[in-house]
Structure 1
Amino acid sequence: MKNKILLFGLTLTLASCGSWNRIGDLTTIGNRNVDDSKKYTLLTREVEAVAEADADAMEQAVDNLTKKYEGEFLRNVKVYVKSNGKKVKVVGDVWGTQNTLINVSTEANVKVILNVGDSVVFKRKGKLTDGKIIGVNSNLVIVEYDGNKKVELKYDEVTKTNK
């Protein structure tokens, strides 16, 4: 009986040390000044970074995300802290300037250049859907369709159109 109680207590202690506690939601967070003359676009959605809780853990987590996705700031941010207080996790959408052109080469060596604002067609639930590129990163494009719905797609899942 003592062993069962001890095992239960140890399991409860270990489980409580590993959980994340949500401490808040933020509309926008960033460590750089925002330039009103630039047009910022959504680069990627719902990504996360974790930082050790030293002097500036939240700042480090925000920096990790903006550097990884080459962005300027985060929107729709959720902030978590480990129940033991040793780590901070930040989850949000990375926004930044779209300063690169993406060249996609096909098997026939035909280059297609995808830019923010280009019209594309893609398959959604078995049907062809029209959309507009609102973000581009090294792996994916973010396409807005049907008003304000957004989806991340691989380059080979979209076809550029002349709209």
Structure 2
Amino acid sequence: MKNKNLLLCVIGLTLLTSCGSYVRIGDLTGISNRNIDNSQNYVLLERDVEAIANSEKDALEQAVDNMTKEFEGEFLRNAKIYVKSNGKKVKVIGDVWGIQKTNVNVTTSANANVELKIGDKIVFKRKGDIIDGKIIGLNSDSVIVEFGKRNKKIELKYDDVTKTEQ
């Protein structure tokens, strides 16, 4: 009797964990439901965002569409794709890329009005050193900067960067 109860518990736990967990099915460099125009200057709009879609069909397409629409982007890079064991629920995590639509005006404490836009050169302080970088993305409260020999990317507050030239 104890063996039957133990067996039922193990089967029950296996069923519960298999139904409730996501299985990673792959990593993709890029994913899009639209054609990408190589003449456009695409920029990083948002990093490491997540979308989940429930669907009987095309759940992956729906998840990608949800993410690009939410952040007004065109495609995803560095995408990780997860699927529920029943195949009807898909989770996508990745970086949204698109066309930057606006410039940002920042008012400093000295009441100077500084306009930041994609491609501007800036400096910022990191670990006591002053680092040169280039703006590749703008958010409502932060700027995304590319710097270094390996083109590292970092998100910084507007107060942490200083524009050097265009």
Instruction: Please confirm whether the aligned pair reaches a TM-score higher than 0.5, indicating the same fold.
Output: yes
Q: Against the structure 1 CA distance between its residues 123 and 8, is the aligned structure 2 distance closer, same or farther, given a 3 Å change threshold? A: farther
Cross-structure match for 1:88: 90
Q: For residue 114 of structure 1, report the CA deviation from its aligned partner.
A: 1.2
The change in CA–CA distance for 1:32 and 1:128 in structure 2 (over 3 A counts) is same
The reply on whether 1:137 has 2:139 as its aligned counterpart is yes
Structure 2 residue ranges without an equivalent (≥5): none
Two-structure CA RMSD over aligned residues (Å) = 2.2
Which consecutive unaligned segments of at least 5 residues does structure 1 have?
A: none
Shift of 1:7: 4.5
Cα distance in 1, alignment partners of residues 6 and 21 from structure 2: 23
| 1:18–1:84 Cα contact (<8 Å) kept | no
The residue type paired with residue 31 of structure 2 is I
Q: Partners in 1 of 2:20 and 2:156 — Cα distance?
A: 33
Between the aligned partners of 2:86 and 2:17, the Cα distance in structure 1 is: 11
Q: What is the TM-score with the length of structure 1 in the denominator?
A: 0.85
Q: Does 1:162 align with 2:165?
A: yes
The superposition leaves residues 6-57 of structure 1 with CA deviations (integer Å, 9 ceiling, x where unpaired) of: 5554333322222111112222211222223221122222222111133221
Deviation at residue 102 of structure 1 after TM alignment: 1.4
Deviations 1:110-129 (A, max 9, x none): 33211111122222223332
Alignment of 1:12-161 (within 5 A): 12-107=14-109, 109-147=111-149, 148-161=151-164
Distance of 2:7 and 2:124 partners within structure 1:
57
Structure 2 length as normaliser, TM-score?
0.83
Q: Distance in 1 between matches of 2:165 and 2:29?
A: 35
Please identify, of 88-97 and 12-21, the stretch whose mean Cα deviation from structure 2 is larger. Answer: 12-21
Greater Rg over alpha carbons, structure: 2
Q: 1:4, CA displacement in angstroms?
A: 5.9
Secondary structure of 1:130's counterpart equals strand
Change (3 A) 1:3 1:118: same
Q: Distance in 2 between matches of 1:3 and 1:117?
A: 66
Alpha-carbon distance in 2 for matches of 1:25, 1:59: 15
Q: 1:13 to 1:139 in 2, by over 3 A?
A: farther
Please give the alpha-carbon distance, in whole angstroms, between the structure 1 residues aligned to 2:69 and 2:110. Answer: 34
SS of residue matched to 2:165: coil
Identical residues among aligned pairs (%): 63
**How many correspondences in the alignment?**
163
